[in-house]
Amino acid sequence: MRVKSGKIMATSTFCEWDAGRWPGFVAKPETSVATRFFETPVAKRPRASYARHVMAVAYIALGSNLGEREATLHAALARINTLHETRVTKVSAFRETIPVDAPAGSPPFINVAAGLETGLSADELMRALLAIEISLGRDRAGAIPHAPRPIDLDLLLFADAVIETTSLTVPHPRIHQRLFVLQPLAEIAPDAMHPVLHKTIRELLQALESTL
Alpha carbon 168 to its chain centroid, in Å, reads: 16
Active site residue 152: yes
| pLDDT digits 0-9 by tens, 109-127 | 999 999 999 999 999 999 9
Tell me the pTM. Answer: 0.79
| Active-site option among 45, 152, 160, 191 | 152
Q: How far apart are CA 207 and CA 26, in angstroms?
A: 35
Residue pair 86/119 in contact (Cβ under 8 Å)? The answer is yes
Mean pLDDT throughout 161-185? 96
171 upstream amide cis, omega within 30 of 0: yes
Q: How far apart are CA 92 and CA 117, in angstroms?
A: 16
Residue type, 31: T
With H, G, I as helix, E, B as strand and everything else as coil, classify residue 40.
coil
Active site residue 178: no
Active site residue 138: yes
Active site residue 154: yes
| Active-site option among 79, 87, 95, 149 | 149
What confidence score (pLDDT) does residue 122 get?
Answer: 97
